[in-house]
Amino acid sequence: MAVFALFAFLAVASAMVVVTHRNPVYSVMSLVVTLISLAVMFVLLGAPFLAALQVLVYTGAILVLFLFVIMLLNIEREAPGGGHKLQKLGAALAALVFAGLLATWFVAAQGAVEPVPLDAEAVALVPLARHLFSTYLLPFEIVGVLLLAAVIAATALARRGGTSVGEDEA
């Protein structure tokens, strides 16, 4: 209970910082906090493997990539005064309504499910691995090909010069 409350609060607070802070480096850093809080939620829900993946892949790889690109592009702080006051008020209001709708829909669809304490069987890795490498073997291979395609595409896009369209001379 206390663990859930603490990390839920951390996740929401740092998510707010992600969307409101003008400096993208701080946004990335607070997204790290959000993602690690979500990893804790995964552990509470009996998915320790996903929690480890979340920390390794998201905070370890993807967000480092973000930081790398921010530093590479030397992005300045967003100019203040972008957008009207009314627009911001509307966005906040829309967010509240949207979250409320989603929440009521979730609860109405799901009802209150009493939690069952996790046992060793529920968090065992072997059945999960067997599932992944038998039932979902084909999607697994396809994801491998997709990652390879993404690597090639990213290198081709970020490459300077060559025959790419619209390169500049600077």
Partner 1 sequence: MVPLSWYLLLSALLFAIGAVGALWRRNAITIFLSIELMLNSVNLSLVAYARILAVRTGELAAAHTGQVIVFFVLAVAAAEAAVGLALFIAVYRNRRTIDVNRQDLMRW
Site residues (CB under 8 A) for partner 1, limited to 49-78: 49-50, 53-54, 57-58, 61-62, 65-66, 69-70, 72-73, 75, 78
In the shown chain, the binding pattern of residues 125 to 164 toward partner 1, with x for contact by CB under 8 A and - for none, equals: --xx--xx--xx--xx--x--xx-xxx-xxx-xx-x---x
Position 104, amino acid: T
The Cα–Cα gap between 3 and 25 comes to 28
Structure tokens belonging to residue 35: 């993602």
Q: Burial code of 55-91, b = ≥16 C-beta within 10 A, e = fewer?
A: beebbeeebeebeeeeeeeeeeeeeeeeeeeeeeeee
**What φ, ψ does residue 113 adopt, rounded to 5°?**
-100, 120
> Least distance in Å: CB of 163 to partner 1?
14
Considering only residues 82, 86, 120, 162, which one is a binding residue for partner 1 as defined by CB under 8 A? Answer: 82
Beta carbon of residue 89, minimum distance to partner 1 (angstroms, whole number): 11
Closest approach of partner 1 to the CB of residue 100, in Å: 8
Q: How many residues bind partner 1 (CB under 8 A)?
A: 88
Estimate to the nearest angstrom the gap between the alpha carbon of 91 and the chain centroid.
21
Which residues from 2-31 bind partner 1, rule CB under 8 A? 4, 8, 11-12, 15-16, 18-20, 24, 27-28, 31
